[in-house]
Amino acid sequence: MDDNDNSHAKLDLSTLRQFRGTTIPHRHYLPLGLSIVLTDGCHFLREKAHCHWLFDAIASHLFFNPKIKKYRKDLVGLFWTLTALEGSAVKLTCLYDTDMVIDSQTISPSDIGDYVLMTEPIHIWTFPSGRKEGGIDWVALLPSEN
């Protein structure tokens, strides 16, 4: 990585606090036609931090993780925390009602260390936004966008 290449500059997570609501919903697609909606803040994080993998992981858990599917039927928010571990690994944790851990995943090695200055955990909230053909449409947002 060239230090003069601004396209790969480290993202300071404090910039995520500037987002309030969203102007354009952005889709994050998985194979099989599955997708979640990203707000402007989550879209910014995905693109600037080059972490499509983070939203792949969240969407995969929402659609396929049996522990999480059990809580999805309640149609309540699920809260995600990404925390830096030793080296380049990160831990993605899903919480129900902000305090009960449903499941977690250690992701290693992680590309996030190349693009994001992980000085604090990243929090992402997911909420059902209504029904669509084939199930529930989930929206991922930053806490400041609530």
- Cα gap 35→126, rounded to integer Å: 13
Q: CA 92, CA 108: separation in Å to the nearest integer?
A: 11
pLDDT in tens, 25-57: 899 998 888 899 999 999 999 998 888 999 999
**Mean pLDDT estimate for the chain:** 82
Kindly report the pTM of this predicted structure.
0.85
User: Nearest-CA neighbor of 13 among 86, 85, 144, 118?
Assistant: 118
Please check the confidence at residue 95 and state whether its pLDDT lies above 60. Answer: yes
CB within 8 Å of 109: residues ≥ 6 apart: 87, 88, 89
pLDDT of residue 105: 94
Show the domains of the chain with their CATH numbers: 25-145 (3.10.450.150)
Quick check: 140 and 92 in contact, CB under 8 A? no
Model confidence at 7: pLDDT above 50: no
Centroid of chain to Cα 122: 8
